[in-house]
Structure 1
Amino acid sequence: MAICLKKFVLRFIDEGRGHLQTISEGAFLLSADEHTEAWIGEMFRAAHTLKGGARMLKLQSIADVTHHLEDVLSELRDKKLTPDRGLGNLIHESVEYLSGQLTQLFVSEGDNQLPPADAGLCERLARASRGEAVTLVVEGAGATEKTVLPTPAAAASLDSGIKQADFVRVKLNKLDGLIDILGEVLAGHDRLEQQIQNLSQLVPRLPGLSAEQLRQQIHDFSAQLRESVQLQHLQMFELYDVAARIRMLPLSTLFEPISLQVSELASTLNKQVVCRFVGGEVEIDRQLIDRLSESLTHLLRNAVDHGIGETDERLALGKSTRGTITITTQQDGSGILLRIEDDGRGLNYEAISAKAVSKGLVPASMAGQLSEQECNELIFHPGFSTSKIVSELSGRGVGLDVVRKTVVTDLQGDLQVYSRAGVGTSFSLRLPVSLTMMRILQFEEQGHLLGLAAQYVVEVVECTAQGISDIAGRPAIILHNEFIPVVCAGTLLGIHERQGSSPTAGQRLIVVQNQFSKMALRVDKLLDERKMMIKPLPKHMQQQSLVSGMVQTPDNQLVSILQVPALMAMAQQSRQTTAPAPAVNVTPGAWHVLVVDDSLNTREIEKNVLEAHGYQVTLAEDGLSGLQKAKLTQFDAVLTDVEMPFMDGFTFTKSLRGEKNYQHTPIIIVTSRAKEEDRRRGIQVGADAYIAKGDFEQDSLIKTLKMLLC
């Protein structure tokens, strides 16, 4: 059955407006010579996405111009072109043309019959991308050049040039619920007015009341007022919830255009791909749906082009010639879980590692030693691509960095990747249902009120100063089978300690997590956790990454909501700056140790300890991955945790001992399981030493390792 494209045009116009505004603002900066590499990257991604959407909807004139514009921006991003006023003017001219095309689309009510692309504009863009001088448009013989100087006002005009689809269909039962709760709120307001009237009638009688009668009257009035205020408080939150549900849309509204995109992309690549959807009835805020569509487009393009292999490759793996992409949505606590899975080839970790080395992201000595999680992180690096051919869909290094920024930074969510060679790849997105009301954990540091979005908070703990150990040159705690670094919030944020203040005996730690990494944030005082209305930042503050918004306390104080991903990046950068890891010159005779642990923090800490003493280290995130690496490389010693997914440490140790070349290799189990029966089992399966993390001391680990290797 043919799919009508008209109903998708309005959404394309909405998204196109935002992309053109990004490009226009960047063109202004280019003309004023105030550009940054980040801005050029944003402009490039905007043009790339706009081109892809236009091609899906058969809007050839828009696709042609954005394709040439993307080429120019690609050369600028790769520093093959030098930004100047002429290029800025040419880019802005392109934006004006594309804005006019979108306006024509809107006026024609989605009719796709646009005139052919402006050949002159396309030719000038093509010449500019080749490094030729930019020729500006002139008006008549002897006329001066037509100078197009974009301004902030011109960029803002994009907002009014195209009407936004600012309406949603609302079910009658939702409106009925809204009216019902409004009635209850009005009734509560009437009760408060009546109580004020009762108070005014009481005032003239006060001189004739005894002290006991006066106390009773005040007590009764206070109890009634407290009950009314509490009831109104509940009603106001219920009113917000009902009103917010009106703006909710099922994710199925995204699924039909997604299916169309998958079909079109697969056809372009001569592949057979089917898209399956589960849980499309789950509803989220319409604003989230709009901002999520671009990320889903990038993930699907990636799945079709990179994930689903060629027909002969699939047949060799015993798979059907038709690839499958499954999009599953489900409720996940107070948010939703969105998973995009393909049954393709899986990530090529060897190619990712090699590309990372060639781009200078990791040293050559790390080639082949990166863990799967580390490789998973690398694919989100801007400009990272393992494709050897630059085409319309691949090789430009755009897409996944946009997804990471949108999901983690803009939408306050979480993004994880799982992949198995020959099986497929899965991207899991955890998102809040709404961005306007969230649970916030508030704390105080050096007199400053701060907050964290609750979805990043793992738990809150309090420990003594003795409970914080010095491991690999930095403070850390041992919590639930993993080492977690401890960072002082005030030091990290540059808030200096007040004179006369002194640390108390108890250490209040907020354990936060982003992706696979955790950090314990030491704070002065914990306040509370509650559902709060998020106020957006002023426009002049929206470019900074540390604060995502503000909330207001009942006594009208403003609380800054800190971005956990930005905090953790600051902490990592601070560690590298203040206490850089000692340089390690690995010689051919150095002992090579395999460290197996599902905790990223624990792996990194143990790696730092070992490298500080001259060992060469390879990491694995679970027993199965560790066993595979051990079969490919002969290690001199192995450190392993017990509690891990896919294959635990006991099974891993036993399996490793079954390998002929590992029957006498030292194996040390490092785990939080300190019971005697666990120790005995570790020795029974073949471990040479068993170290409990609660008793962990890096010197004893090194001594044990040296003793076993000698």
Structure 2
Amino acid sequence: MAIDMKKFIARFVEEAREHINKLNDGFVLLEKNPDDKETINAVFRSAHTIKGSSRMMKLTQISETAHKLEDVLGAVRDSKITLSKETFDLIFSAVDAISNMVEKTALGQEITDDNTALCEALAAAAKGSKTDITADKPAPQSESPKTEPAVPQALPTSSIEPKVEVKTTVKTPPATSETLRISANKLDRLIKLMEEIVSTKSKAKTILHDIKSLESAAKRQLELISQKAQSNTIVTAFTSLISDIKDLVSMINDYSTISSLLSDELRSTALTLRMVPLSMVFDSMPRMVRDLSRTLGKDIDIIIEGSEIELDKQIVDRLAEPILHLIRNAIDHGLEPADERKNANKPAKGTIRLSASYDAASVLIDVRDDGRGIDKEKIKEKALRKKMFTAEEIEAMSDIALMDLIFQPGFSTSAIVTDVSGRGVGLDVVKKTIVEDLKGSISIETALGSGTAFHIRLPLTLAIMRLLLISASGITFAIPAQYVKEVLRVPETEFMDVLDKKAIRLRNEFIPVERLSDILKCPDNKAQQAQKMKKTIREPLIMIIHAVAEKLGLIIDELIDEEDMVIKPFPLCIKKTGMSVGVTISGRNKVVNVLNISAVIDAIKNLKGSVVKERQIQERALNILVVDDSINTREIEKSILESYGYKVDLAEDGMDGLNKAMKFKYDAVITDVEMPLMDGFSLTERLRAEESYKDTPIIIVTSRSKEDDKMRGIRVGADAYIVKGSFDQNNLIETLQNLVGFQQT
């Protein structure tokens, strides 16, 4: 009877991915220390395992490539050859080829890769022969399998070969006697069951409270009966009833205590099962840093600490993209080139530190570099240019509020937009993922010339969260505890007007204050009227909340309780308002909205009199000039732009473009580089010399991909540099929209 090998595919893919990660990590370390015998043996074993398991699965292309890679590593292990730069490039190409084929296998796709040239090059390298064959690296997959966190694809290497050091401090977990692989779906079902138990625990707490209230009421009735009753029979009967109730309360209280302890233990154990180490994200970063630093010609040292720290897999799965974007930003325009660093009396080698640590019920992740730092004056200049604020409003901003602007969509202080970073479409997504999706926070620490650090705080799990139950206008709401700094009462006499808004002074810090019921537009019901009547007697209760290094005060009616509760997402049939991230069920089976603190803060900013204002969307169609000597390219770009509502004029070369730009003021210019009569660099330089085009967005779209050409684009004044080889219409449209501040409605 033939064995159906398809049922073993998932296990093969999972194992192969683990060994591919080990290969990437090991080869990055070997570039630093080629004589490390232990690492050589480790990568040899991984290549051997992939070869054997893929051969069992009849995946010939994978096993053949892994076999040739194993031959090279065997020759290195036996000291028959040494690892050169060219050999490392070939080895990494082989790892990428294997990874590409494994991902195709995971997606159920047929492997059609032709790795003949690559295998021949590996065979030659194993014999110590020099070869000029350079295998093309496989194209990255359009999407990663749903069961694994996104892993950054390796970037193409260039002829530049900087030194790259990778220092990692990873604690090896203790070995266990046996391991059992469990389906993620089974764990999820267990977590959901645990969530229901936690909800039941809250209800039991409410029932116990009600019984205690009943006992107190019975005692009061007994006192009344004792005063009026003519017969002791009724008093005796009522006394016996109260005694029985008291015993019942004691029994329920004991049961509730034991149940609570068991529930907490079950919760802790269940959540631990779904905890995975941050190494699942961190371990892919050294390879990415290596490849990107080679592409940009920079010398970079990445230091990784705390990769053994564990988080809920749901969080780790969503964390790869934000961390990747922050590191790419640091490499591209945070860290300076070696000569610039030397001129600034800094080490030629730049350093990125990626670290994680526990802090109470949270995990802190820092992404830090020792580069240029963020220039606050550039932030002000960009905010003015995008017409987000007036000059007076910008000067009145605090450093924290000013730095928060870089999280706005389309905001970038990069000198030029490239395919690596600076397009202004990343940090807003980073903030949304960290703050809204993962219920965490992110803040920035920067010093001009010294570097920048992004501090990320995340909960350990999203399954159960500590919530504060509050009321506003008589309605109960929940707020995640990690956003709450403190709750205090402040006399209204201490309120002051700051920029047409109410504020309080707390420990020498001015904090804006708003009534939560006004922000949420709650109905003015009787409960709210009663609360207003009490204002003359009781001081307003203010909850200080914070997100992205910003503090605000919310005036609430009452702080009801604080509990560990389950947040349930909205059903698809319910329209989301943005003010809530979900709901939770109280002990009395009431549905309670869990507030989206970021949305609340944004709502406070946009109230009348707020310093922060939304930039109005332009209503007119913008005029774009496209300059390219290729008729086909001009027409393609025109078609794309017109489909998004832009008005487009065409020019066939740089001189034609200059003449048309002098006759009509365009809102943006898109130009090629290599053109007759006048090239794109010269056109850009000429336009920048004109007062009318001093601040006009200019985008270079060219086939030139060298770093020198990009730097020349910066010098002549281009705002964006898009390489035609990686061109797609979304790239062009997003870049244009971010530069001109125009979004289609």
- Shift of the 372–526 alpha-carbon distance from structure 1 to 2, 3 Å rule, reads closer
The partner residue of 1:300 within 301, 304, 327 is 327
- Shift of the 541–267 alpha-carbon distance from structure 1 to 2, 3 Å rule, reads farther
2:362 alignment partner in structure 1:
335
**Can you list the C-alpha shifts for 1:319-338, whole angstroms capped at 9, x where unaligned?**
22221110121112211111
**Can you list the C-alpha shifts for 1:139-165, whole angstroms capped at 9, x where unaligned?**
xxxxxxxxxxxxxxxxxxx99x96635
> Is the 1:457–1:510 contact (alpha carbons within 8 Å) kept by the matching residues of 2?
yes
- Shift of the 57–358 alpha-carbon distance from structure 1 to 2, 3 Å rule, reads farther
1:432 alignment partner in structure 2:
459
The partner residue of 2:606 within 568, 573, 580 is 573
2:430 alignment partner in structure 1:
403
The answer on 1:392 being equivalent to 2:416 is no
**Can you list the C-alpha shifts for 1:616-642, whole angstroms capped at 9, x where unaligned?**
xxxxxxxxxxxxxxxxxxxxxxxxxxx
Structure 1 residue 379: deviation in Å? 1.8
Amino acid at match of 2:530: S
What SS is found at the alignment partner of 2:403? helix
1:33-72 equivalences in 2 (<5 Å): 58=96
What SS is found at the alignment partner of 1:425? strand
1:354 alignment partner in structure 2:
381
The partner residue of 2:344 within 314, 317, 339 is 317
> Is the 1:174–1:242 contact (alpha carbons within 8 Å) kept by the matching residues of 2?
no
**Can you list the C-alpha shifts for 1:283-338, whole angstroms capped at 9, x where unaligned?**
11111111111100100100110111011001112222221110121112211111
1:563 alignment partner in structure 2:
596
Amino acid at match of 1:386: T
> Is the 2:499–2:609 contact (alpha carbons within 8 Å) kept by the matching residues of 1?
no
Amino acid at match of 2:545: V
> Is the 1:101–1:114 contact (alpha carbons within 8 Å) kept by the matching residues of 2?
no
Q: Distance in 2 between matches of 1:563 and 1:370?
A: 24
**Can you list the C-alpha shifts for 1:359-409, whole angstroms capped at 9, x where unaligned?**
222335678886643442222221222334443203422211111111111
- Shift of the 491–174 alpha-carbon distance from structure 1 to 2, 3 Å rule, reads farther
Amino acid at match of 1:291: R
- Shift of the 430–578 alpha-carbon distance from structure 1 to 2, 3 Å rule, reads closer
Amino acid at match of 1:497: D
The answer on 1:501 being equivalent to 2:534 is no
- Shift of the 497–102 alpha-carbon distance from structure 1 to 2, 3 Å rule, reads same
RMSD over equivalenced CA pairs, Å: 4.3
Amino acid at match of 2:108: V
1:107 alignment partner in structure 2:
108
2:309 alignment partner in structure 1:
282
Structure 1 residue 112: deviation in Å? 9.8
Higher relative contact order (CA 8 A, sep 6+): 2
TM-score, normalised to structure 2, is 0.51
Q: Distance in 1 between matches of 2:499 and 2:386?
A: 29
Amino acid at match of 2:370: D
The answer on 1:551 being equivalent to 2:584 is yes
> Is the 2:501–2:610 contact (alpha carbons within 8 Å) kept by the matching residues of 1?
no
Amino acid at match of 1:164: T
**Can you list the C-alpha shifts for 1:233-264, whole angstroms capped at 9, x where unaligned?**
22112201110011111212222101111111
- Shift of the 343–572 alpha-carbon distance from structure 1 to 2, 3 Å rule, reads same
1:475 alignment partner in structure 2:
502
Structure 2's unaligned 5+ residue stretches are 1-14, 22-91, 117-141, 150-173, 181-186, 205-235, 615-745
1:164 alignment partner in structure 2:
147
1:53-132 equivalences in 2 (<5 Å): 58=96, 104-107=105-108, 113=113
Q: Distance in 2 between matches of 1:350 and 1:262?
A: 29
What SS is found at the alignment partner of 2:468? strand
Q: Distance in 2 between matches of 1:56 and 1:329?
A: 32
Structure 1 residue 513: deviation in Å? 1.5
Structure 1's unaligned 5+ residue stretches are 11-53, 63-99, 117-157, 193-208, 582-710
- Shift of the 577–378 alpha-carbon distance from structure 1 to 2, 3 Å rule, reads closer
What SS is found at the alignment partner of 2:606? helix
- Shift of the 290–568 alpha-carbon distance from structure 1 to 2, 3 Å rule, reads same
Aligned length: 428
The partner residue of 1:531 within 564, 567, 571 is 564
> Is the 1:414–1:429 contact (alpha carbons within 8 Å) kept by the matching residues of 2?
yes
Q: Distance in 2 between matches of 1:59 and 1:370?
A: 51
1:247-266 equivalences in 2 (<5 Å): 247-266=274-293
- Shift of the 170–241 alpha-carbon distance from structure 1 to 2, 3 Å rule, reads farther
Larger Rg: 2
What SS is found at the alignment partner of 2:328? helix
What SS is found at the alignment partner of 1:477? strand
1:416 alignment partner in structure 2:
443
The answer on 1:522 being equivalent to 2:555 is yes
Structure 1 residue 115: deviation in Å? 10
- Shift of the 534–356 alpha-carbon distance from structure 1 to 2, 3 Å rule, reads same
Amino acid at match of 2:582: G
Structure 1 residue 562: deviation in Å? 0.6
1:197 alignment partner in structure 2:
none
Q: Distance in 1 between matches of 2:241 and 2:179?
A: 47
Amino acid at match of 2:366: R
Q: Distance in 2 between matches of 1:395 and 1:579?
A: 24
What SS is found at the alignment partner of 1:576? coil
- Shift of the 390–434 alpha-carbon distance from structure 1 to 2, 3 Å rule, reads same
The answer on 1:376 being equivalent to 2:403 is yes
Structure 1 residue 172: deviation in Å? 7.5
